[in-house]
Structure 1
Amino acid sequence: MRVLVTGGAGYIGSVVAAQLVEAGHDVVVLDDLSTGHADAVPAGARLVEGGIREHAQAVMAEQGTEAVLHFAARSVVPESVAHPDRYWDGNVGCSLALLEAMRVCGVGRIVFSSTAAVYGEPETVPIPEDAPVRPGNPYGATKAAIDAALTEHARMHGIGAVSLRYFNVAGAYAGLGERHTTETHLIPIVLQVARGLRESVSVYGADYPTPDGTCVRDYIHVADLAEAHLLALEHCRPGAHRVFNLGNGTGFSVREVIEVCREVTGHPVPVVAAGRRAGDPATLVASSERARAELGWVPRRPGLREIVADAWAFHTAHPGPAAGAEPRA
């Protein structure tokens, strides 16, 4: 299949692009490299450097694109709170331009990189796909808006759309891993401490109603996540927009993550106690039963130790400067 991957030079997009190439698809990556890396685009895929508004339609026409996997987005929650206009324009505006380019070029399938942030504070855990959508920040709100647009485009134009709502993604695959200029994710930040690039990691709140008092989150290996995208691509149905949660269905606390990182790396990880952050739910764990039943997707790397070990192998092979942001667990 001839596939366009927007944001395919980023962390998750590059892993999905690599698996698409391995599966024999014709892959073009469209990325403006504002946060992505040209060397993350896998061999066998062609990189077009530029934005969606300027280049998507031309690339689709030239490639004869049959499907789109859409990862290009701004995704830092604190930045979205400080600059919501950038997120509404960069996430929603560009996605609408992408959908219009698909309509013009007759592209009938899209798999969208959505997020569990659309749920906000959950009423039930594990979180099912029919849970209320009430995002607590502009980032989540933009993803929810794009989901709504996909529903309408499926209804009006007959495209087949799938939104995949991720929980916490970590690990590495085929030499591809997280390289964010501003790091906000817990596992890579803890690994930066182990590498001596940070002095300590802050634990925000130890009095939550969880087994050890720290927040519990659902971690999924990036390779498992990527495999779900390939399955979703095959399950796009004309005129339908389908939504699937992706997670292990198992939660790990902040303290558990830090302890596993200590064991894997063999390095001490000093911890600094800090107060709770506004808007941090105690527990976020996915129900992925729909993806298992309808896509036939099963996480093959569910263990936290394997996730951390793969991330550690990547980070030790790709040393870089520490980033100054605090983690969003």
Structure 2
Amino acid sequence: MNALNNVKLSMLDLVAVREGRSVADSLAVALRTAQHVETLGFARYWVAEHHNMAGIASSATAVLVGHIAGGTHTIRVGSGGIMLPNHAPLVVAEAFGTLAELYPDRIDLGLGRAPGTDGITMRALRRDRVETEDDFPREVAELQQLLGPLQPGQRVVAMPGTGTNVPIWILGSSTFSARLAAERGLPYAFASHFAPRQLLQAIEIYRNQFRPSAALDKPYLIIGVPLIAAPTDEEAEYLASSNYQRVFGILTGNRRRLQPPIENFMAGLRPEERAAIGDFLAAAVTGGPERVRDGLRRLAQLTKADEFMLVSDIYDPDLRLRALDIAAAAIAA
């Protein structure tokens, strides 16, 4: 049996701002990409909250979710994720409750507990209080209540929001998030597109400790997969240099807009720098159609994931659409 037969495909978009292009262009590219993967049968399209980063235009996440949902018809659209410590749960419930009323049965609310930014920007987000490990689980529970059925005597009501039952996903890159998702009986998305180190350990914890809930009767797992696909392995490796440059910038604290591909980028780095990029992208699938199919199949066999959420940092938007076509064909083969 083909290990890919039952794997769904989805897309996570950081809404990269490309070198030499505008923020408006990056927002238009995001909508166009969502429309394209909808025709390919992708299950969902998520955007991620980041702040004060020159190359990422998805900071106003709920606004962007509404824009993409309004420009598509059937694909689920959501946050991958909202960084909950940056927001009051009531505000998040009202925003996503409004989206759920506008686009019924199409909105997902993925929640993370990282700040999605640096310390100075955290303070600009009015996050002066010190977070504890107990805050995130408590705020997740508060959101579940605000989006769930109205309870007798409930004094704080999300309007819109109450009764919409927007699906809540726990996102993370550690075993903490796996335990929380299992304990609450919620679907889980692991951020293996940038932090694959604890992937298998987190999956084991999530599945072994999962408790059925009103939201979910059995575990449901998404893993993030960096994807660079092209007609040949050689072209894919060349296009991947944009991603390598992006990762190198993250590792060295020199974040920039998404750069055009360049020849032999990795060859110009020191061995330890190449190794660090390799660790960051350990779950990546890069290559022509055959290599992509084999890479996705290996990930499916290794993780038994229900869904792959592709992250494709290709500079040319048309070539990114082509890469997504190749991935969709690999799953269908």
State the TM-score, normalizing by the size of structure 2. Answer: 0.33
State the TM-score, normalizing by the size of structure 1. Answer: 0.33
